[in-house]
Chains A and B, each alone.
Chain A
Amino acid sequence: MNKLTLKTEGETHVIATRRFAASPEVVYRAHTDPALIQRWLLGPEGWTMPVCVNEAKPGGKIRYEWSNGKGQGFYLTGEYLELDPFRRIVHVERMFLPDPTPDNHIETTFAADGEGTLMTMRMTLPDPQTRKAMLATGMEHGMEASYVRLEGIIQAA
């Protein structure tokens, strides 16, 4: 099943996993090539990403700007910390809504899984309050900001 799973871990982590029917190399490229990112990382129907900067190298910059074409928009900036091509990415990011959210530290791994790839994103927020705020505002912006299931919260107890 290629279904997104979300769970919380400890006080400040959120773990997302997803399987893809493509090799780790291809999935990795879809996460680091701006022309590819602009085709899928869009959130709700009707939104586009007119600006996509993704410098996939240590210290490289990330900037995604989204627009709904009706004057509404928001953006995200980030920096790459580590890249192990086709296997692992470590970066930090924050959303501007319009004030910046605290940094979300994200380790993404791409593991060969049969014919496909298992992607695991381990997000670390600076404190439980930030994680809570991320979860509570994420839906409004439809994407990227929030990952969890209630059973994860209950199980974390």
Chain B
Amino acid sequence: MNEGFNLDAAFAALADPTRRAILARLATGETTVMELAKPFAMTQPAISQHLKVLEEAGLVTHRIDGARRPRSLAKNGIEAMDRWLETLRAALEQNYRRLDAVLAGMEELKKQRRKRQ
């Protein structure tokens, strides 16, 4: 997990639909603030504020290109979150693997009962 990445901040950042839309847009490639603001009925400062939250959560990064600050997805942050969610999925899957075994036992009992009848 990269330094400074905060899972709570990442989920909080994702709780806002505009910020999710920004991430979806950035998933298609590097984008300037002006381009990001276009599809939204929002001022550039409002979009910049959302970008700040996303950057602080470690999900978005920027580089400096003259006067421009093009934004892109922060690969490490996105991957860290994905890994965490995969761990969560695996923990739940553990329950269901146990359930598979319970169900197999129940089906087996049913078959035996049917045979006896």
Contact = CB atoms under 8 A, between A and B. Distances in A.
B8 interface: yes
Contact of B107 (A26, A36, A131, A157): A26
Contact of A139 (B15, B16, B82, B91): B91
- Counting chain A residues whose Cβ lies within 8 A of the other chain, the interface size class is 35 or more
B95 A43 contact: yes
B20 A142 contact: no
Contacts, number: 107
B53 to A, nearest CB: 13
A27 B103 contact: yes
Interface stretch (B21-29, B43-51, B62-70): B21-29
A42 B92 CA distance: 9
Nearest to B19: A157
| Interface size of B as a range | 35 or more
Contact of A20 (B21, B94, B100): B100
Q: Is the interface of A mostly helix, strand, loop or mixed?
A: mixed
Nearest to B18: A157
Interface of B: 7-8, 11-12, 14-17, 20-21, 23-24, 27, 78, 81-82, 84-89, 91-96, 98-104, 106-107, 110
Interface of A: 2-4, 6, 11, 16, 18, 20-23, 26-27, 29-30, 36, 39-45, 128-129, 131-133, 135-136, 138-139, 142-144, 146-150, 153-154, 156-157
